[in-house]
Amino acid sequence: MSRSGGPPYFADRIAEMFRKVLVANRGEIAVRVIRTLREMGILSVAVYSDADRTSLHVRMADEAERIGPPPSSESYLLIDRIIEAARKHGAEAIHPGYGFLSENAEFAEACEAAGIVFIGPSAASIRAVGSKTEARRVAMAAGTPVTPGTEHAVTIEEARAFAGEYGYPLILKAVAGGGGKGMRVVEREAELEPAYRLAASEAERSFRNADIYVEKLITRARHIEIQVLGDRHGNMIHLGERECSIQRRHQKVMEECPSPLVAMYPEMRREMGEAAVRAAAAAGYHNAGTVEFLVDEDRKFYFLEINTRLQVEHPITELTTGLDLVRLQVEIAAGARLHLKQEDIHWRGSAIECRIYAEDPYNDFLPSPGKITRLNRPLGPGIRIDAAIYQGWTVPIDYDPLLAKLAVWAPRREQTTDRLLRALREYDVGGIRTNIGFFRQILEDRDFRAGRLHTGFIEEFFKRNAPPKMPREYAAAAALAAALHASRVTENATAAAASSPSSSAWVQAGRNDLLR
């Protein structure tokens, strides 16, 4: 490749790499992709909504294009506007990141129709596994085990009939779902109808598709995913597993590689890896993707879904394999033949990632948008931070509250846990609430230390752990500061009343929340 050095991932070197790539995303993943593009000598184009005008990904890119107002439905989800921006700036390819349009077959087709390379799988592959029920059929055809469930969308009566055959608990899922949206666990008959209506309503809002299917719930399951990678020439390998069992509202918040369970039973990696490759190959897959499984208490694994994009948690695979997944994505999209064989993939050490959110874990994980008044990041050996925040930046209320991903590597899991705990103690984000303190509690938990993980871990954690208490002297200081702030707010409000006909209810609500 004329512009891209680095490890010899491919047998045939490409005569000419892309000259310019548009990144159809925002936040930390946009920054992550731009960094690799810069290393490869490829120019980057950022897109942004009005809410992201001062965001870091806009500042870092070589070029940038406004695509609309803050709502994603009027900016980041507008296919025509993204394509138009790519044409205007002369981008030859588009990297979708994750979320937004990354798993949208229509977007992949629109790129192809415009003569722009979509850095991801084909539209046909996205369609083949984009529907959860269709993905189950693909997996079954490939000989991959699946949980008992329906192979099509169901009515409430059909869901009730399924429960009569397989019993409770069961789980309702959006056919077009992802990110934990449109999912409801049903423990008993009385919960079924309201849960079905809520799941369908959320699915309609999130995916414009209210179809729901049903599966038998595997209790105390572990969520383990396999990273797969394939080129356009039929070569497919896997890059090992990631344990993603620590979740809130069916969404991952903490991941690690290798899985503590798989580390004890290495044959599981081979068996799950082979099953993942079969399922992906059956869908005609190329580029980076993830095949996800649930594992029961008897270590039996069952197909869950295929994610046709780069995952949020990809850094821990990079830390343990030494590979750059974004670089691999770009090179595969440019037509290169994968040089790596399965026997070339080796895993070294242990890595754990925490998703740092602007949210309050002790108040039902409610988002906490606002201005970042203070920012101190951890440093030292084995620490990686993927982020798009800076001191003085205002976290918008319009998008997912993910601020950063803190990933830590060490030779052994125990060392990784200790290093991550030290890093979290150094990580300081002021002006908003975050889940940093919550992660500190988890890392000190005996069950986490012992690797006893499952998808209900957080619920059980809250039952046996109280929220951390503020030291008495700090509480007194905070109360005094709040009183002084309230006094100033009152004085300012009185002074402003003469010149302002009304005050913003939004601002006042924010002040009241801060005082609480």
Any idea which residues carry the catalytic annotation? 309
CA distance readout (Å), 233 to 107, 114, 333, 345: 23, 23, 11, 19
Q: How is residue 114 annotated by DSSP?
A: T
List, in order, residues 6 or more apart from 189 with CB less than 8 Å away: 160, 163, 168
What are residue 178's phi and psi, to 5 degrees? 170, 155
Chain-centre distance for alpha carbon 233: 28
User: Is the bond into 145 cis (omega within 30 degrees of 0)?
Assistant: no
Closest CA to 405 of 370, 447, 354, 363: 354
User: Is the bond into 194 cis (omega within 30 degrees of 0)?
Assistant: no
Closest CA to 163 of 185, 142, 134: 185
325 near 310, Cβ under 8 Å? yes
Closest CA to 277 of 264, 293, 266, 262: 293
- Please give the single-letter amino acid code of residue 14: I
Ordered strands of the 20-23 beta sheet: 63-68, 43-49, 20-23, 93-95, 117-118
CA distance 34 to 36: 6
List, in order, residues 6 or more apart from 208 with CB less than 8 Å away: none
Which helix H or strand E contains 64, and what residues bound it? strand 63-68
92, HSE (Cβ side, Cα atoms, 13 Å): 11
Copy the structure tokens of residue 90.
């002369």
Residue with tokens 């209506």: 197
- Please give the single-letter amino acid code of residue 298: D
243 near 346, Cβ under 8 Å? no
CA distance readout (Å), 387 to 68, 282, 346: 23, 35, 27
Which helix H or strand E contains 59, and what residues bound it? helix 56-60
207 near 176, Cβ under 8 Å? yes
310 near 151, Cβ under 8 Å? no
